[in-house]
């Protein structure tokens, strides 16, 4: 028989939010926690700045994006948590990583000066420099529906061709649109999701948020269902996505 509740709050961890919130991406953790509450369960967000902040239980993880000036200190801070990140990813804890947070979970970052910043090696692929920075809207077709966000990155990403988050309809995604082959965006590995979409992405694309939440609930044999408040908020998100889509020459949902 499926359980109906957890005897403690769901815990959503926001990793290094002081350094990884350049585009408001730390807000993804708050989106997950609020949707859990709207579903009728308790939830809390724990900001983790160091190992000392780690809570006893971790049910979902959000990793945001930061500036290039912070790449080294962020990488070094994440290294102290690499074993936990590996355990979480291997045990089905949903993890969302955006922008430079994603790049630092990879094999590494090739920098424009020819040096390489070694990553944590938790997801396949690595970041490579672009000739020009991408700053534009992006639309992605995915199994979680059409995803819309804003991309802002100075690097492409290679090595994720076998497991993308989706196919780019408008924008750049992982690589220069002038390159050969289909344009793809992001990376998925089990319940680890990596993307260039800012926004924060989960506020604008609640279907992706709900997939992460169902993965979190599945670990306890719980069924996730969005509450009535989620349904009304999702209509606002849908209208916002449609406004962008129409402006970019795409049909509304």
Q: Which residues belong to the active site?
A: 198
133 is in an annotated binding site: yes
Within 10 angstroms of residue 9's Cβ, the number of other Cβ atoms is: 17
Query: Which of 70, 73, 209, 52 minimizes the C-alpha distance to 145?
Result: 209
> What span, in angstroms and rounded, lies between the C-alpha atoms of 64 and 188?
16
Q: What angle do CA 201, 202, 208 make, to 5 degrees?
A: 110
Q: How far apart are CA 129 and CA 155, in angstroms?
A: 4
Which residues in 14-35 are b (16+ Cβ under 10 Å) and which e?
A: bbbbebbbbbbbbbbbbbbbbb
Euclidean distance between the first and the last CA atom of the chain, given in angstroms as a whole number: 37
Q: Which residues are annotated as a binding site for substrate?
A: 133
């Amino acid at each position: 028989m499926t359980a109906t509740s957890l005897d403690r709050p769901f815990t959503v961890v926001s990793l290094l939010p002081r350094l990884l919130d350049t585009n408001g991406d730390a807000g993804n953790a708050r989106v997950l926690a609020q949707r859990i509450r709207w579903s009728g369960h308790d939830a809390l967000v724990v900001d983790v700045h160091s190992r000392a902040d780690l809570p006893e239980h971790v049910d979902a993880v959000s990793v945001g994006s930061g500036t290039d000036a912070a790449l080294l200190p962020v990488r070094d801070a994440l290294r102290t948590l690499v074993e936990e990140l590996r355990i979480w990813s291997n045990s089905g804890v949903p993890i969302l990583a955006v922008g430079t947070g994603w790049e630092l979970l990879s094999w590494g970052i090739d920098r424009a000066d020819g040096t390489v910043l070694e990553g944590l090696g938790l997801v396949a692929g690595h970041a490579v420099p672009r000739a020009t920075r991408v700053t534009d809207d992006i639309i992605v077709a995915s199994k979680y529906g059409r995803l819309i966000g804003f991309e802002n990155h100075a690097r492409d990403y290679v090595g994720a061709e076998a497991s993308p988050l989706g196919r780019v309809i408008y924008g750049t995604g992982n690589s220069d649109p002038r390159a050969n082959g289909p344009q793809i965006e992001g990376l998925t590995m089990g319940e680890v999701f990596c993307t260039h979409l800012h926004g924060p992405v989960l506020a604008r694309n609640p279907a992706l948020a709900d997939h992460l939440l169902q993965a979190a609930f599945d670990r306890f044999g719980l069924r996730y269902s969005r509450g009535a408040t989620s349904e009304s908020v999702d209509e606002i998100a849908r209208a916002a996505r449609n406004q962008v889509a129409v402006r970019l020459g795409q049909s509304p949902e």
